[in-house]
Structure 1
């Protein structure tokens, strides 16, 4: 399994950062050739399921996920969201942490994933690619 972490500090309030980070369709708009579809009605929370589809036309793959932990930031307290990835090709989890700071918030995205058919010897390459892709996605989501 490949694990990576991306950290950003931004001048946003915790609630606004949380709103942006948990707007699942917005994630798809930040990742090239990806569209995210929410599969469960209503507001996000535990049990919310969505799929990120990456590819062109019929050539691509689905990355289905479910929210299994949902603790929005309240007051001066941090927030945490955990996603479980349960696809045929991609499995693992992601955690999004939002913590208030003096100048805004600190966001930490941690992800651990395995890609079917990719040997563990490539975990470092996957981690570096994940940091780049999700770093750019976070920058796009969090830019005021």
Structure 2
């Protein structure tokens, strides 16, 4: 199960970075051929469920996720959300942490994922692709 870690610094206030990084439907807009649908009523909380559907021309797979930890940032405290992937194809977890820093904040994305049917030999390629896609998504979501 490859692990990835991405850190981005931004001039955004921690609360604004948090709002952008936890806007689940906007995540799908940042990943090619992906649409995200939230299945529970807002606001996000422990138990919120959403699915990222990726694919083209009838060849698709779902990445259903559930929020298992929800702690927004406040004052000098960091915010942390943990997602558990509950799909048949994509398994694992992801965490997004937003920490106040001078002039804005620092956002960190940590994830461990596995793709059903792929041998561990493919882990380095899977991790590189995930770092690229999620790093690009973070940069776009945090763009001032």
- If the TM-score is normalised by the length of the shorter chain, which range does it land in? over 0.9
Q: For residue 63 of structure 1, give the secondary structure of its aligned residue in structure 2.
A: strand
Question: Greater shift after overlay, 50-59 or 27-36?
Answer: 50-59
| Displacement of 1:103 | 1.4
Q: For residue 8 of structure 1, give the secondary structure of its aligned residue in structure 2.
A: strand
CA distances 1:9-59 after superposition (whole Å, capped 9, x unpaired): 000001000000000000000000000000001200100000000011421
Aligned counterparts, 1:1-144, within 5 A: 1-144=1-144
| Displacement of 1:109 | 0.1
Structure 1 CA distance, aligned partners of 2:125 and 2:141? 24
Structure 2 CA distance, aligned partners of 1:57 and 1:37? 19
TM-score normalized by the length of structure 1: 0.98
| Displacement of 1:8 | 0.2
Structure 2 CA distance, aligned partners of 1:35 and 1:57? 14
CA RMSD in angstroms, aligned pairs only: 0.6
Structure 2 CA distance, aligned partners of 1:108 and 1:65? 18
Structure 1 spans left out of the alignment, 5+ residues? none
TM-score normalized by the length of structure 2: 0.98
